[in-house]
Amino acid sequence: MEPVRNYRRIAVEEAFLPPELADLYLRMLAEGAIDDPGFRSLWGFYGGDTGARTTGVLGRIQDLDAQRIADMDATGIDLQILSLTCPGVQIFDAAQACGLARSSNDLLAEAIARHPARFAGLAAIAPQDPAEAARELARGVQRLGLKGAIINSHTRDQYLDAQRNWEIFEAAESLDVPIYLHPNTPSRQLIAPLLDVGLEGAIFGFGVETGLHLLRLITSGVFDRFPKLRVVVGHLGEALPFWLFRIDFMHDRAVTGNRHPRLRRLQRAPSEYLRSNVYYTTSGMAWEPAIMFVHSVVGPDRLMYAMDYPYQFVPAEVAVTDGLPLSEEHLSMFYELNARRVFKLDEPRC
């Protein structure tokens, strides 16, 4: 029997995929209807491999009822914050992407209504049409009760630092909800040397892509323009917490030396945005030394638990985070209180 604990375990980066979208991915692959090398690598594997792991992931990721809840019960996860898996709707043309975002959000809201004590969710949006993305985020939050937005890194090789996308940030700041910047396989500009050696996925390419994306947001001045904007990143910040000193030092030198027209003086050092506007999760990183390092450099109020279900569904990893050398107060913040505050979650139902 599990010891009595004074917190609930909330897992904040847990993926789902509507059957409609899964079927569409697989049909596009079969018909050769998409030439994105990252998409072909990722979903060609999960859609084409017949091994136990891949078929297990494909089955679990589409389930929003009994199987998922049974897995949560088996691992002691009280609540999942669900989000549309990568690349989500971000590979389609704008009109199709917007329609799929709406239908995915409706499906997610229905699942949450069936299991309100076990699920919360983030709204899928289509950055292909920033104005419609902002409207869908508002609909998701205000009408469907969703808790923020999920954006799976680049959208058809385009990054969010371009000012045409900033109304998405304006909407998130106005609604006071976070944006979860989730990995995707690298953009065409970045993927070739990774793909050649099989490093384009979660082993390395995901972190390269998402860490780059977050740094682009910081250096473009997004957080100066939207100082209350909150961004959540997984995998312990895609290694950026390790680089805080060097990022600050080299950014200052580059700006002082006019090294590049896109690098300009910000209101604060880059590391300050990483400590004040960004929150971090442990998804896929059940490793005590790395968790404790990030905990020490960003602070106990900015680190949250995530399992990365179903891609990294390893029940034994819960014991790793249960055993972290944290005070009872900090363990409660890590598992529950930070997530409840960042995502404005309702109090648990009795």
Distance from C-alpha of 229 to C-alpha of 148, rounded to nearest angstrom: 11
* Annotated catalytic residue 252: no
Distance from C-alpha of 154 to C-alpha of 90, rounded to nearest angstrom: 8
Q: Which of 36, 252, 308, 346 is catalytic?
A: 308
| Residues that are catalytic | 308
